[in-house]
Structure 1
Amino acid sequence: MNEQALLSTPPRYSRLLWPLMAALLIIGWSSGFVGIRYASEEASVALLLFWRTLLSGLILLPFALAFGPRLRWRGILEQILFGVMSVFLYLGGFALAIEQRVPTGLVALISDLVPLAIAALSQPVLGEPLSRRQWLGTAIAVSGVLIVSFDSLSFGKAPLWAYGVTVGSMLVFALASVLYRRRRTEPMPVHQSLCIHTLTGALLFGFCAMLQGGLAPPMTQDFAIGIAWLVLIATFMAYGIYYTSLRMFPVAKVSAAIYLSPPVTMLWAWALFSEPLTMAMFVGLAVTLAGVWMTSRD
């Protein structure tokens, strides 16, 4: 199916397809916390991200070579650029900020403001302006995210540049999302583009991990569980559905679903790690749901 066919998906299918894809996107996007929770105690962030991206790319490689159009250098180089932006700079920037002691709650809040940056870029870059209702929905969704994140917010004592890295990582991913939607070359199937993105990230994260001591993974059960979770759910499910959705729906509509990742992340933490739920989380979830509905509905 080519790009034009995807963009012209009949409304009767879109009404059923988008809620399902949005639900899977939210589950996948918020699940990254689970894998990191399992594996981060066993290895440095660079080593963790190296094995996450390397295994993801190697699993996808035979499918990328066997299925889909022939890979051409122009398309490969374009996807390498997206890999640098949406994998290495995005994930690596937040990881670096956390290592520099930027509070995790603040990092999570800034990362979840990606849809706001995408909404701001949609008009000048894509010519996809948001209506007044969508801007109102965006404001409501951001309010919900703030309610959910309020208890964990602090500013810490990290160096000033580390806070800039946090904001910059969020803006880089937002820019990569709108450029991915705008690209002029022949669209590449998601399994091929994601393979290139992850292998690009693996090369760069591997270099960083080498500087920190080596590439050997910890041979522990928690690290194995964390990496498997990050590869299968947080990479294949989250990134795969995100890139597929960008081809089929307006970028602001797709990104708005990410606003729901903070409350869903806290549900993951409650279900798997027995972390307490508070009334503020449920209030924030309800407010965020209302904002996402206003932003996403046709």
Structure 2
Amino acid sequence: MTATLSVLFVACWSSGFIGAKLGAGSAEIPTVLMWRFLPLAAVLVPIVWLSARRQNMMPTPRALGRQVVIGMLSQSGYLLSVYWAIELGVNTGTTALIDGIQPLVAAALLGPVLGVAVPRTQWVGLVIGLGGVAMVTAADAGAGTAAPWWSYAIPFLGMLCLVASTFVEQRAPTSTPPLQALAIHCSTSAIVFTALAVASGNAVPPSVNTFWIALLWLIVLSTFGGYGLYWLLLRRVGITSVNTLMFLIAPVTAVWGALMFGEFFTPYTALGLAVGILAVVVVTRVGNRPRKRDEGEDACPVRAPITSR
């Protein structure tokens, strides 16, 4: 059962990058994201609000504000960077790989910020992961894509938004129920992207069928499928195993994008993806190894940011 759920999770999470390309090809980015999150917020907020009232679990103003910040970072900022990069021509697999090194960056950088000792192997894993990203980015840029050179920095901005949201989440004194957090995040994103769409004059959705197909794809597969399976697996197998699965998303997305959109996939691309997978293998194998307390190195425990694909 867990293996089946893991396969579905990787497929649903990868579908977010594919859906981003479908949506970007049919409308402006603010339009796609506005109409993606308005229906989600309209459905989730009443359900979660009634449930929280019935169970006397309404969030405090401080907790609500914290989740709004997390949502703006891990969802609004992150997705805006993903869609923008893909619209500019960055391959979906390259975008997925850059964003996928977030667990390594978070584990390596947030440990010192939170006062937790970080094993050397996590820094080694980060360096290997960055090497894989550099190889795939070079292969992508050298394959004649239309993306300008500076566009490859945009997914890094999205990844840093995820890292920042991880830090905010780690500092939270109490945890927020996942469905409640999702409702707050989707409401925040609905407000942010509606404001952007209205300000840019792109609030009216196009009448083409591909736009609504892309929205259905993103809402059902990426948000409910990816997010729901993410939390289900997090509770069944733990954060380390889920982060390991996250590193399968880049190669799956790269192959998917090559088959569906004819994106470049060279042997150098495959090698870079393999290096990226090696990075997480190095980190997770050592992270799972029992350690003695007197060794002076404890694994840096990083909770996953609450994200929505």
Unaligned runs of 5+ in 1: 1-15
Counterpart-to-counterpart distance in 2, 1:164 and 1:272: 24
Deviation, 1:96, is: 5.1
- Whether 1:296 and 2:284 are equivalent positions in the alignment is yes
C-alpha distance 156-220 of structure 1, shift in aligned 2 (>3 A): closer
Counterpart-to-counterpart distance in 2, 1:217 and 1:263: 32
Which amino acid in structure 2 is aligned with residue 39 of structure 1? G
Instruction: Name which of 51, 54, 79 aligns with 1:91.
Output: 79
SS in 2 for 1:290: helix
Q: Which residue of 1 aligns with 2:192?
A: 204
C-alpha distance 119-91 of structure 1, shift in aligned 2 (>3 A): same
Counterpart-to-counterpart distance in 1, 2:128 and 2:212: 39
C-alpha distance 22-120 of structure 1, shift in aligned 2 (>3 A): farther
Deviates more, 1:223-232 or 1:262-271: 262-271
Deviation, 1:46, is: 0.7
* Cα contact 1:259–1:288 (8 A) shared by 2: yes
- Whether 1:138 and 2:126 are equivalent positions in the alignment is yes
Root mean square deviation, CA, Å: 3.4
- Whether 1:194 and 2:194 are equivalent positions in the alignment is no
Give the TM-score normalised by the residue count of structure 2: 0.73
Q: Which residue of 2 aligns with 1:170?
A: 159
C-alpha distance 92-65 of structure 1, shift in aligned 2 (>3 A): same
Give the TM-score normalised by the residue count of structure 1: 0.75
Q: Which residue of 1 aligns with 2:58?
A: 71
Deviation, 1:23, is: 4.9
Counterpart-to-counterpart distance in 2, 1:166 and 1:281: 17
- Whether 1:45 and 2:34 are equivalent positions in the alignment is no
- Whether 1:265 and 2:232 are equivalent positions in the alignment is no
Q: Which residue of 2 aligns with 1:56?
A: 40
- Whether 1:34 and 2:26 are equivalent positions in the alignment is no
Which amino acid in structure 2 is aligned with residue 104 of structure 1? V
Deviates more, 1:37-46 or 1:239-248: 239-248
Deviation, 1:35, is: 1.0
C-alpha distance 26-199 of structure 1, shift in aligned 2 (>3 A): same
Deviation, 1:181, is: 3.2
C-alpha distance 285-95 of structure 1, shift in aligned 2 (>3 A): closer
CA offsets, 1:152-187, max 9 Å, x none?
1378366xxx887654433222110232133113x2
SS in 2 for 1:31: helix
Deviates more, 1:83-92 or 1:25-34: 25-34
C-alpha distance 190-38 of structure 1, shift in aligned 2 (>3 A): same
SS in 2 for 1:260: helix
Deviates more, 1:221-230 or 1:65-74: 65-74
Counterpart-to-counterpart distance in 1, 2:230 and 2:113: 19
CA offsets, 1:27-86, max 9 Å, x none?
333222221222212210011111112222233234313445432342322211211111
Q: Which residue of 2 aligns with 1:3?
A: none
Counterpart-to-counterpart distance in 2, 1:38 and 1:146: 26
C-alpha distance 125-58 of structure 1, shift in aligned 2 (>3 A): farther
CA offsets, 1:110-135, max 9 Å, x none?
43442343123331244554433343
Counterpart-to-counterpart distance in 1, 2:266 and 2:90: 18
Deviation, 1:198, is: 0.9
- Whether 1:118 and 2:111 are equivalent positions in the alignment is no
Which amino acid in structure 2 is aligned with residue 85 of structure 1? L
Quote the sequence identity (%): 31
C-alpha distance 167-284 of structure 1, shift in aligned 2 (>3 A): closer
C-alpha distance 122-255 of structure 1, shift in aligned 2 (>3 A): farther
Number of residues paired by the alignment? 276
* Cα contact 2:20–2:83 (8 A) shared by 1: no
